[in-house]
């Protein structure tokens, strides 16, 4: 029994095929979805999505969205994604450092929130690379 | 043979010669420059005038042909984006349902149109449908407001429904369309407008020659809950356990906003595609018309030219024969 996973963004379809298992990070923590999962609709946090096909794990960095799981069909709608293999490690590391620096400099509530979001994004991208290797 | 042709020409011009005095009086004040009166009193439009018309029609044909090519290339660029964005709103419809018949108190009609003209009838159809929706949904308790995207719909709707317009947004296509821009727009609309149901009116791009006006409905969370409880197509929603976040209502709210921005993105892209496609076909028919007009003008030009040559020949020959005696 396999799950049909579709990951969609406004610009393109990122993933559309069968998988064995996925690990999704939601607002209330990471959940692992196996076949015959109970139907849920959940919000997806900024984090990584790990997909297992045939004992091989793939990582995709997700930047916020929604997921619907039911009847062995998973539909994930995301604002923006990046496949782990597409991210350049050095560039991601640099982006992380810049984001951290910005957070320290940020003043005022709005800037702080934006800096925090940027930091989480950068961290997610770095995690995505590290998780593969 | 030539003499016979000349005699025929002479017989053709004869009826014009007899009412000579009347034509002389009538022609001069009205058409001093257009008509050239030879000594035989023959009236004909000068070849210069016809040549000028031909030149301008030829220019128009060139311009419309170029506009068609430009529209075709823009269409190709946008078409791939549109097809990719189509997959996004289908899960929403599967989960939350698309209920155009939902009966709500506060309707907001979002009309999407183009900024530039010369694109056929697509903007008029969108405006017609928006007005129809407005009429359908106005009653004692219900009200409908407009949110307008694009100059053309603004021009048409400002004339008679000014008080019902909430928000007008123009110059959408200055920068190439992307999701972030549209989601900011959707955010603006959601913040400023109270709504129970949002109806997005746009032209869906079926093919290069067919654009179907469509309405996508996005319902607010309260209405969704109401419909889900009353049964019908939305019963499925309750069978999903909603996680992530404090309350179910908050998630559904975020979901509805996300749905709105995705549907808007798709609608704006489809409308842009339809605009380019309609412009292509409008410019194509216009260049074809210009070609037909050019053919007809060429015939007129040749006839005029031959008539003037014939007149000259007749003058020469009659002058020569008069000299001979």
Pair (A73, A116) in one structural domain: no
First CA to last CA across chain B, in angstroms?
24
Q: Pick from B183, B244, B265: which is nearest to A43 by CB?
A: B244
Per-residue pLDDT of chain B (325 residues; tens, 9 = 90+): 555 555 555 455 544 444 444 444 444 443 344 444 444 444 557 888 899 999 999 999 999 999 999 999 999 988 988 888 887 777 777 766 666 666 677 888 889 999 888 888 899 999 999 888 888 877 777 778 888 888 888 888 888 877 778 888 887 777 777 788 888 888 888 888 777 788 889 999 988 889 999 888 887 777 766 666 665 444 455 556 666 555 667 777 777 788 888 888 889 999 999 999 999 999 999 999 999 999 999 999 999 999 999 999 999 999 999 998 7
Pair (A63, A93) in one structural domain: no
| DSSP run (H or E) holding A122 | helix A109-132
Contacts of B262 in chain A (CB under 8 A): 10, 77
Contacts of A74 in chain B (CB under 8 A): none
Pair (A13, A60) in one structural domain: yes
Pair (A98, A41) in one structural domain: no
Interface of B with A in 264-323 (CB under 8 A): 265
What count of CB pairs under 8 Å joins A to B?
A: 72
Pair (A123, A110) in one structural domain: yes
Pair (A61, A114) in one structural domain: no
Pair (A51, A40) in one structural domain: yes
The tokens for A118 are 């940027």
| DSSP run (H or E) holding A51 | strand A40-53
Contact (Cβ atoms closer than 8 angstroms) between residue B187 and residue B258: no
* Cβ-based neighbour number of residue B276 at 10 Å: 23
Contacts of A40 in chain B (CB under 8 A): 240-243
What sign does the CA torsion over A63, A66, A68, A69 have? Answer: positive
Contacts of A26 in chain B (CB under 8 A): 243-244
For residue B30, count CB atoms less than 10 angstroms from its CB and return exposed for 0-12, middle for 13-18, buried for 19 or more. exposed
Q: What is the CATH number of the domain that holds A24?
A: 2.60.15.10
Strands A73-78, A3-8: pairing kind: parallel
Q: Pick from A11, A65, A68: which is nearest to B240 by CB?
A: A68
Structural domains counted in chain A: 2
Selection from B297, B309, B302, B300 nearest residue B9 by Cα: B309
Contact (Cβ atoms closer than 8 angstroms) between residue A52 and residue A18: no
Is A41 in CB contact (< 8 Å) with chain B? Answer: yes
Q: Pick from B183, B237, B254: which is nearest to A43 by CB?
A: B254
Contacts of A14 in chain B (CB under 8 A): none
Contact (Cβ atoms closer than 8 angstroms) between residue A39 and residue A15: no
Pair (A72, A14) in one structural domain: yes
Pair (A67, A113) in one structural domain: no
Q: What is the CATH number of the domain that holds A101?
A: 1.10.287
Pair (A44, A65) in one structural domain: yes
Pair (A47, A97) in one structural domain: no
A20 lies in which domain range?
3-84
CATH number for the domain formed by residue range(s) B64-230+249-282:
3.40.1380.10
Alpha carbons within 13 angstroms on the beta-carbon side of residue B36 total 13
Are B244 and A45 in contact (CB < 8 Å)? yes
Q: Is the whole-model pTM more than 0.80?
A: no
- pLDDT number for residue B27: 40
Residues in chain B: 325
Contact (Cβ atoms closer than 8 angstroms) between residue A6 and residue A74: yes
Pair (A75, A116) in one structural domain: no
What digits encode the pLDDT tens for the residues A57-108? 888 888 878 888 877 888 888 887 777 666 777 777 787 788 788 777 777 7
B129 vs B133: CA distance, rounded Å:
6
């Amino acid at each position: 029994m396999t799950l049909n996973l579709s990951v969609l963004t406004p610009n393109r379809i990122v993933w559309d095929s069968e998988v064995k298992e996925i690990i999704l990070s939601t607002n209330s923590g990471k959940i692992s979805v196996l076949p015959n999962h109970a139907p849920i609709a959940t919000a997806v946090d900024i984090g990584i999505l790990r997909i297992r096909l045939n004992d091989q794990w793939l990582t995709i960095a997700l930047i916020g969205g929604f997921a619907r799981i039911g009847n062995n069909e998973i539909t994930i709608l995301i604002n923006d994604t990046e496949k782990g293999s597409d991210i350049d490690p050095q560039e991601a590391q640099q982006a992380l450092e810049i984001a951290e620096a910005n957070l320290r400099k940020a003043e005022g509530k709005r800037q702080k929130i934006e800096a925090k979001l940027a930091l989480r994004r950068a961290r997610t991208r770095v995690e995505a690379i590290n998780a593969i290797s | 043979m030539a003499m016979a042709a000349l005699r025929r020409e002479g017989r053709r011009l004869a009826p014009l010669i007899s009412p000579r005095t009347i034509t002389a009086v009538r022609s001069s004040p009205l058409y001093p420059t257009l008509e050239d009166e030879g000594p035989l009193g023959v009236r004909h439009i000068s070849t210069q005038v016809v040549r000028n018309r031909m030149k301008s029609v030829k220019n128009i044909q060139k311009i419309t042909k170029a506009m068609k090519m430009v529209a075709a290339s823009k269409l190709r660029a946008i078409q791939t984006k549109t097809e990719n964005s189509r997959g996004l709103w289908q899960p929403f419809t599967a989960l939350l349902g698309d209920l155009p018949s939902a009966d709500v108190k506060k309707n907001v009609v979002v009309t999407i149109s183009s900024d530039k003209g010369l694109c056929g009838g697509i903007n008029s159809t969108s405006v017609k449908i928006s007005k129809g929706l407005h009429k359908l949904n106005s009653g004692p308790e219900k009200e409908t407001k407009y949110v307008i995207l694009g100059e053309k719909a603004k021009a048409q709707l400002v004339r008679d429904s000014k008080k019902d317009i909430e928000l007008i947004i123009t110059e959408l296509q200055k920068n190439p369309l992307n999701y972030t821009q549209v989601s900011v727009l959707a955010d603006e609309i959601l913040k400023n407008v109270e709504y129970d149901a949002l109806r997005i009116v746009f032209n869906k791009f079926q093919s290069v020659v067919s654009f179907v006006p469509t309405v996508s409905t996005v319902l607010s969370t309260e209405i969704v809950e109401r419909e889900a409880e009353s049964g019908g197509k939305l019963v499925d929603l309750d069978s999903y356990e909603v996680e992530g976040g404090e309350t179910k209502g908050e998630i559904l709210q975020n979901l509805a906003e996300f749905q709105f921005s995705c549907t808007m993105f798709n609608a704006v892209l489809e409308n842009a595609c339809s605009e380019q496609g309609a412009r292509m076909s409008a410019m194509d028919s216009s260049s074809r018309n210009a070609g037909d007009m050019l053919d007809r003008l060429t015939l007129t030009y040749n006839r005029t030219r031959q008539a003037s040559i014939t007149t000259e020949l007749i003058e020469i020959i009659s002058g020569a024969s008069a000299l001979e005696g």
